[in-house]
Amino acid sequence: MPTTPRIVILGGYGTAGFAIARHLLEWTEAEIVLAGRSLTKAQKAVATLAEQYPDSRLHAAQADAAQTASLIEVFKGARLVLVASSTAQYAAHVIEACLATNT
């Protein structure tokens, strides 16, 4: 397991996810991955946060909660996944991906 924890925020560019990311950047040394269906929105959110936190701990990723395979790809190497998206109907996919990646 990496020495610096990697945290994936599913829905990281939404209102709640963005606020959580900001808080984690302020209070932890964790690597933060903002993920969601839109890579473009994730990249914009990362760029906005990078203005205040320019230390390269931020990353953007595309992941669709309805597609377990895309979640597994993004969750690899993560210590924690925070779900800040309104995707409760896909909770089984998220759980399956977490189990598959030991997250």
The model's pLDDT over 40-95, given as tens digits with 9 standing for 90+, comes to 999 999 999 999 998 889 999 999 999 999 999 999 999 999 999 988 899 999 99
* pLDDT for the residue numbered 1: 47
pLDDT in tens, 5-35: 999 999 999 999 999 999 999 999 999 999 9
* pLDDT for the residue numbered 98: 96
Q: Mean pLDDT throughout 35-40?
A: 97
86 or 100, higher pLDDT:
100
DSSP code per residue over 24-92? HHHH---EEEEEES-HHHHHHHHHHHHHH--SS-EEEEE--TT-HHHHHHHHTT-SEEEE-SS-GGGHH
* pLDDT for the residue numbered 87: 85
